């Protein structure tokens, strides 16, 4: 999930790839430089709880922090998180995913011009047309041209840049929950699969500590962060940076599901003289 800092901008991977590709194609050919990307927004994440016949009205302020006049196009798309669910997104045409909220969103204005160092307020309304029993999500993009390049065939290529506000409509009756299963040992680490079994978006962050047979804490650490929509599942690694001496240990893993919810697992395991891990038992 995007941090909540004010006026944060996003240059999407898709657009960045297009720019890099355009630059690669232009080796040995005339290259017209891209203008500096200076489009910013003040509301990069919108998270509301709504149900049918309820509505939410909001605003996003779009700023041009450059000396150039720029033309802006506002539009919505769907998105899903991509495996391994580390936050990378796949952007899709609006209305194409089961969790799309595009039909519930209206925007105004859809096109506008920003003077140098100018700003524009874009209004939006979210109005679900059915009962919201599971999270729906989408993104509002603000797109502008960055310039043109010329490829080796002499063809002009438009380079676009965009920033976006993620939108989540959560159910009014939220169930933040998950399952941690398929736990196994690797050579010097443990892993399992966490699945979002609730009806909300989950940003899962885990911490763990490992205690030895004398109840002394041997090491602490964090697991990989996960960004999961309902029914998404991903691997969670417990990989201590320090080697553990041979002996018996217990790892206490706490997965923070946000909103005061957490999942806790205790795993007893042994470490051999060669450093290999072996699971003994797993407890909730």
Residue 5 has pLDDT above 50, yes or no: no
Q: What is the domain-level CATH number for residue 57? A: 2.60.40.10
Q: What is the predicted pLDDT for the residue at 104? A: 97
Q: What is the predicted pLDDT for the residue at 17? A: 34
Residue 150 has pLDDT above 80, yes or no: no
Residues 147 and 164 in one domain: yes
Residue 75 has pLDDT above 70, yes or no: yes
- Number of compact structural domains in the chain: 2
Spatial distance between the Cα atoms of 97 and 100, rounded to a whole number of angstroms: 5
Residues 96 and 218 in one domain: no
Q: What is the predicted pLDDT for the residue at 200? A: 98
Residues 190 and 275 in one domain: yes
Residues 138 and 255 in one domain: no
Residues 49 and 153 in one domain: yes
Identify the domain boundary among 143, 170, 197.
Answer: 170
pLDDT-derived band at 9, boundaries 50, 70, 90: very low
Identify the domain boundary among 170, 199, 226.
Answer: 170
Q: What is the predicted pLDDT for the residue at 151? A: 72
Per residue in 189-202, pLDDT (tens digit) is 999 999 999 999 99
Per residue in 104-122, pLDDT (tens digit) is 999 999 999 999 999 999 9
Per residue in 216-265, pLDDT (tens digit) is 999 999 999 999 999 999 999 999 998 999 999 999 999 999 999 999 99
Contacts of 105 (CB under 8 A, 6+ apart): 76, 124, 125, 126, 138, 140, 167
Edge-to-edge strand order for the sheet containing 233-238? 178-185, 190-196, 233-238
Strand blocks (E) in 127-230: 136-150, 156-170, 178-185, 190-196, 202-212, 217-222, 226-228
Identify the domain boundary among 147, 170, 193.
Answer: 170
Q: What is the predicted pLDDT for the residue at 173? A: 95
pLDDT-derived band at 145, boundaries 50, 70, 90: confident
Q: What is the domain-level CATH number for residue 198? A: 2.60.40.2360
Asked whether 151 and 25 are in contact (CB, 8 A), the reply is: yes
Asked whether 204 and 171 are in contact (CB, 8 A), the reply is: no
Q: What is the predicted pLDDT for the residue at 280? A: 98
Mean pLDDT of the chain: 88
Q: What is the predicted pLDDT for the residue at 13? A: 33
Residues 121 and 30 in one domain: yes
Contacts of range 14-19, beta carbons closer than 8 Å, 24 or more positions apart: 14/91, 15/160, 15/161, 15/162, 18/159, 18/160, 19/146, 19/159, 19/161
Q: Is residue 5 part of a domain?
A: no
Residues 18 and 146 in one domain: yes
Residue 160 has pLDDT above 90, yes or no: no
Percent of the chain with pLDDT over 90: 79
Residue 29 has pLDDT above 80, yes or no: no
Residues 162 and 248 in one domain: no
Q: Which domain holds residue 92?
A: 13-170
Residues 126 and 207 in one domain: no
Q: Is residue 94 part of a domain?
A: yes
Per residue in 79-113, pLDDT (tens digit) is 999 999 999 999 999 999 999 999 999 999 999 99
Residues 27 and 159 in one domain: yes
Residue 11 has pLDDT above 60, yes or no: no
Residues 191 and 259 in one domain: yes
Residues 104 and 233 in one domain: no
């Amino acid at each position: 999930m995007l941090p909540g800092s004010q006026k944060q901008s996003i240059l999407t991977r898709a657009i960045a790839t297009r720019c890099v590709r355009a630059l690669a194609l232009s080796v040995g050919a005339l290259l017209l430089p891209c203008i500096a990307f200076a489009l910013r927004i003040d509301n990069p994440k919108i998270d509301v709880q709504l149900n049918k016949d309820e509505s939410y009205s909001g605003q996003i302020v779009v700023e041009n922090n450059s000396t150039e006049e720029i033309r802006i196009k506002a539009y919505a798309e769907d998105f899903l998180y991509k495996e391994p669910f580390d936050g990378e997104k796949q952007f899709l045409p609006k209305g194409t995913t089961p969790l799309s909220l595009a039909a519930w969103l209206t925007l105004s204005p859809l096109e506008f011009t920003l003077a140098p160092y100018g700003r524009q307020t874009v209004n939006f309304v979210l109005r679900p047309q059915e009962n919201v029993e599971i999270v729906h999500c989408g993104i509002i993009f603000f797109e502008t041209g960055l310039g043109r390049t010329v490829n080796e065939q002499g063809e002009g290529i438009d380079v676009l840049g965009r920033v976006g506000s993620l939108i989540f409509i959560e159910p009014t009756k939220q169930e933040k929950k998950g399952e941690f299963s398929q736990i196994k040992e690797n050579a010097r680490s443990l892993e399992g699969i966490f699945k979002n079994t609730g009806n909300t978006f989950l940003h899962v962050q885990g911490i763990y500590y490992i205690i030895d047979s004398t109840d002394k804490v041997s090491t602490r650490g964090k697991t990989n962060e996960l960004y999961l929509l309902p029914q998404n599942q991903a691997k969670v690694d417990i990989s201590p940076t320090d080697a553990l001496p041979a002996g018996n240990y217990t790892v206490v893993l706490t997965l923070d599901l946000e909103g005061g919810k957490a999942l806790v697992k205790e795993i007893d395991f042994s470490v051999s003289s060669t450093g290999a891990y072996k699971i003994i038992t797993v407890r909730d």
